[in-house]
Homo-oligomer: A and B are copies of this chain.
Amino acid sequence: MTAADNNPLIDRRQAMRGAAMAGAGAMFLSPAMALSASSDMSAIRRAAEAGRQASIQRIQDWIKLPSIAAEDRNMPEGADYMASLAQDAGFQHVEIVPTDGYPGVFATLDAGAPRTLGIYFMYDVKQFDPAEWSSPPLAGAIVDRPGFGKAIMGRGAVNQKGPEATFLAALHAIRAAGRKLPVNIVLIAEGEEEIGSPHFKQVATKPNVLAALKKCEGIFIPASWQDKNGNVSVNLGSKGIVELELVASGEKWGRGPKGDIHSSLKAMVDSPTWRLVQALQTLVTPDGNTPAIDGWFENVRPLTAREKALIAETARNSDEAQRKAILGVETWIDDLPFEQALQRLAQEPTVNIEGLVAGYTGPGGKTILPGAATAKIDLRLVPNQTRAEAETKLRAHLDARGFPDVEVNVSGGYDPTETDENSRLIRTELATYERAGITATLNPRLAGSWPGATFTAPPVSIPAGHFGMGHGAGAHAPDEYYVVESTNAKVAGLVDATMGYADFLYQLAAIR
């Protein structure tokens, strides 16, 4: 869910367009210049450059083994492969962690350092249809991406095998340069991210894993989300999400038909589709913009003054007209000014319809009265709402409104997350970006969602976020790619992104 779900302002299918959204960014200073002050860094860069081809091969090989939980495809194989990647990168303890679903992987690299960094990986990828791709999705071919450079094209290239393998490349380079890691590393990986991480908490709370995680200064997922101006966001949290289907059916209702019947019978038979429509419209205000589920706002924490200030800064530094153009939007909700619209983006829980499916969905019409109707819904949650609370309240609301038969089939979800901007994790992210000459915007709350709450909530309770340089796009879409040789001076290629991770480790060790 992460990669498709993390960018609040663009559909990642349109990442090339999305990249144009950023405001003016600072000139990207080559990491070669920014980092060469340290002799460690010079040696590591030489090793990263020497290992560049091996690093590309590592990504390509990994892409050849797609693990897809929704299709029960290569799941044990994917966990084993993840484990071997960790071993090769120098982790001394590597462990497959069984769950009630597909296994996770836990690994530790003890450098004898005072501080420890957590790293979160997913070894699974989104489903794909080879027919939609311009290059075979498992081939990992090197292709040209105008404006960015040479990229690996394949399923998982950016979501997340490319960035993850780049982090591993940093560990390889530090070892190859004969340097000792400045921090210890705890790696936790799952194979069910794309189906909503239903068993990830089992991995994270296994006693030895939990104990290791709790020692971490924080944990991040490697990410490569530089836009074409080189800019990145540092997220201080994210909304939660519940994805579900609301289903009205004659079967459950006891009224209407159990299957599709001829539409003329509407005069004497109830319609489950109309029932769904009636149930749906109780969930939001008449403008469709504010949840109207009973008690929904009870635990909603308003934005702090600091969060509002950060949003105001983002609004000032963004090109509103360009964002509207890219999104195909003429006006924000309630005709709000941009700053207030961005506040709403961070502040408000939402009830969104992702899809409607009932009866005949092909071209033209077909005279049927459908036996069932489905709305695909996502509920976005803000602190201090929880996923469990949301599910309970939605069910209670429908029951109270006379829709006990309308099914709520939850497929996955995450709690909201929050990470203190004064944590060493966030301060290290900002420091590392600054050393690389990258403009980082502090985002108080990602409107998208990710499994970070597993880390920020008890019992783990550590800072969690996203970090990384470089660029890729097409997560969940055809022609997914990850740039390995950048022709854009503001955007890191594979070696510069590798050095970004290496520098992060040294900064985390050094920061006060």
Contacts and interface: CB of A to CB of B under 8 A. Distances in A.
B328 A354 contact: no
Interface in A272-299: 273-275, 277-278, 280-281, 284, 286-289
A257 B328 contact: yes
Given A341-B268, A356-B273, A262 B329 contact: no
Nearest to A359: B355
Interface residues of A, number: 95
The copy count of this chain in the complex is 2
Contact of A10 (B70, B262, B345): B262
Interface string A353-368: 1111111110111111
Contacts of A345: 264-265, 267-268
A32 interface: no
A243 interface: yes
A256 to B, nearest CB: 7
Given A278-B286, A328-B257, A364-B411, A239 B264 contact: yes
Interface stretch (A23-31, A86-94, A207-215, A370-378): A370-378
A40 interface: no
Given A70-B364, A287-B270, A367-B1, A255 B355 contact: no
Interface in A290-342: 327-333, 336, 341-342
B333 A270 contact: yes
A350 interface: yes
Contact of A359 (B349, B356, B364): B356
Looking at chain A's contact residues, the main secondary structure is mixed
B376 A365 contact: yes
A342 B4 CA distance: 51
A259 interface: yes
Given A239-B264, A264-B448, A364-B70, A330 B255 contact: yes
Nearest to A195: B364
Contact of A368 (B11, B273, B448): B11
Interface string A236-263: 0001010111000010001111111111
Given A274-B288, A371-B328, A268 B344 contact: yes
A363 B376 CA distance: 10
Given A268-B336, A286-B278, A345-B268, A7 B357 contact: no
A269 interface: yes
A259 B328 contact: yes
A259 B287 CA distance: 19
Given A12-B262, A357-B357, A376-B359, A277 B281 contact: yes
Contacts of A197: none
Given A273-B353, A330-B255, A365-B378, A262 B9 contact: yes
Contact of A262 (B260, B288, B351, B448): B448
Interface in A145-185: none
Given A354-B365, A355-B360, A365-B411, A330 B254 contact: yes
Nearest to A362: B355
A267 B11 CA distance: 15
A369 interface: yes
14 contacts: A4-B262, A12-B262, A254-B330, A257-B327, A264-B447, A265-B447, A267-B344, A269-B329, A270-B288, A271-B288, A281-B281, A354-B370, A355-B370, A360-B376
The 7 closest A-B pairs by CB, nearest first: A274-B288, A258-B328, A264-B447, A355-B359, A355-B360, A356-B358, A266-B352
Given A1-B367, A11-B259, A273-B353, 12 more contacts: A11-B260, A256-B329, A263-B354, A264-B448, A266-B350, A268-B341, A277-B353, A354-B359, A354-B368, A355-B370, A359-B376, A367-B448
